[in-house]
Amino acid sequence: MPTSLDSALPAPHLESSRKAGDVEPFLSGKITYLAPLPLPTALPPHGPHIGELNEVYMDFGLGSPQVFMWQMTLGLPFSGTLMLAFLPPMLAAFLGVLFGYSQVEVWDSVLGVFDESYGYALVSGFCSLFIGLGVWHHNHKKRLQIIPTRFNRQRREVCFMPEDTTEPVFVPWESLSAWVIEAQGATQYGTHRQYGMGIGFQHGETLTSVEFPCFALSLAISHWEAIRGYMEYEIHDLKSIQDPQDLQGPDDPPHEGLHTFHNARARMHQQIRDGQRGRVSGFFWYLYHVMTLWTIPNHLTEWEVRRLQRMAPNALPDIMRQWSAPLPKEQWAKPSEELLRLSAQVRALHKRQSRRPITEIFAVVQRANPTDKRRA
């Protein structure tokens, strides 16, 4: 789920004059605006933070639970316990054979080291498991309490639920601000780079925003492209933005679960038969899943998804549920002429200069279309 960026990073200044392509420098980096207006970025969309998605609205901020998190929560303590318990005795046996000890002496040293190590292994394993489950429980409670930002493409509006408020705030889609942050600083480990993506709006002196860190600048823009693509009717399902490995079949649910394990295993065997993958790679695939407790994380992910589906809708305010209801097609909001014109110019310029950064293309198009219009 989205988290706040490093506290040293500045908050963006969402003046009404900001537009896609603007750059706001600060001491250790810069903020580049992607909206308003929401122009196409030409990058592949990626939306791990997107939850429910249907023909009317999309929830952003709380993606579906992932199998990998359960694999780490359960698999790391289990694997760590095994390694702490058995690797030292194996090392003792190897050294004993290397230095020419007798079989009895080697066996005695193995038993002695195991007697000393397995207690530490069990304690550290249970402690790490307890910590992992505590982190999961904390995040799970946040999922049940936090109301995600909702994008309604039929109304072309965005619904925010600011903290410590009881009423949601509705923002026109084309006036929403979006930005990516690039920052770097020096630490004792070398140069540290930070990237992040955020969306929000400013009403007076109050800034309401959702931000989260990313691993790269292109990935941050891809997160925004997933939102923009949905609102502009270019994306219609979660699979296209959350399943890059194509592990969900046509009849599978949109979230991860037991089906992703079976699909991944079937694909792995097919790749071995086709010669695209070696048997050694297949062995390590099985080893990884054995060390992460096979299909238990998949079952737990499905359980968590069912629990969230039962409990989350009760937290929505009535006005937000009414706003989320579908509209007759003749009442659907239309994109502005300005957005359509600038989007066409961005696509045409990117086609001619595909190697040029998309943010520079935004700036060129905006300079070629000066306007005194003030956006909310």
Half-sphere exposure (CA, 13 Å, Cβ side) for 89? 17
- Based on its alpha-carbon atoms, the radius of gyration of the chain, rounded to whole angstroms, reads 26
Cα(371)–Cα(375) distance, integer angstroms: 11
The pLDDT, as a whole number, for residue 349 is 93
DSSP string, 95-164: HHHHTT--HHHHHHHHHHHHHHHHHHHHHHHHHHHHHHHHHHHHHHHHHHHPPPEEEETTTTEEEE--TT
* 284, two tokens: 């390590």
CB atoms closer than 10 angstroms to residue 346 = 23
Q: Residue 352: what pLDDT?
A: 92
Task: Find all residues with CB under 8 Å of 338, minimum gap 6, and list them.
Answer: 37, 371, 373
Task: List Cβ neighbours of 236 (8 Å cut-off, separation of 6 or more).
Answer: 55, 230
Q: What span, in angstroms and rounded, lies between the C-alpha atoms of 208 and 167? A: 13
Q: How many CB atoms lie within 10 A of CB 255?
A: 23
Is 298:258 a contact under the CB 8 Å cutoff?
A: yes
In the chain, count H helices and then E strands: 10, 10
**What pLDDT does 247 receive?**
77
- Nearest Cα to 9, choosing from 205, 179, 218, 208? 179
**Chain centroid offset of residue 12 CA:** 22
Which positions ≥6 away from 98 have C-beta within 8 Å?
Answer: none
> What would the two tokens of residue 10 be?
């500045």
Q: Which residues contact 347 (CB under 8 A, 6 or more apart)?
A: 40, 42
SS3 at position 182: strand
Return the amino acid letter for 280. Answer: V
Q: Which residue has the tokens 């086709």?
A: 274
Separation CA 2–CA 217 (nearest Å):
16
Q: What residues contact residue 354 under an 8 Å CB cut-off, 6+ apart? A: 42
Q: Is the dihedral of CA 33, 230, 212, 68 positive or negative?
A: negative
- Distance, in Å, from the CA atom of 133 to the CA atom of 74, rounded to the nearest integer, reads 8
Q: Would you write out the chain's pLDDT as a tens digit for each of its 376 residues?
A: 554 444 445 566 665 567 888 888 888 888 999 988 899 998 999 888 888 899 999 998 877 888 999 999 999 999 989 888 888 888 888 888 888 888 888 888 888 888 888 888 899 999 999 999 999 988 888 777 778 899 999 999 999 888 777 788 899 999 999 999 988 766 656 677 888 899 988 776 777 888 888 888 899 999 999 999 999 999 888 888 887 777 777 788 888 889 999 999 999 999 999 999 999 999 999 999 999 999 999 999 999 988 887 776 556 788 998 999 999 999 999 999 999 999 999 999 999 998 899 989 999 998 888 764 444 3
Residue 190 carries which side chain, given as an amino acid letter? G
Measure the N-to-C terminal CA separation of the chain; round to a whole number of Å.
Answer: 28
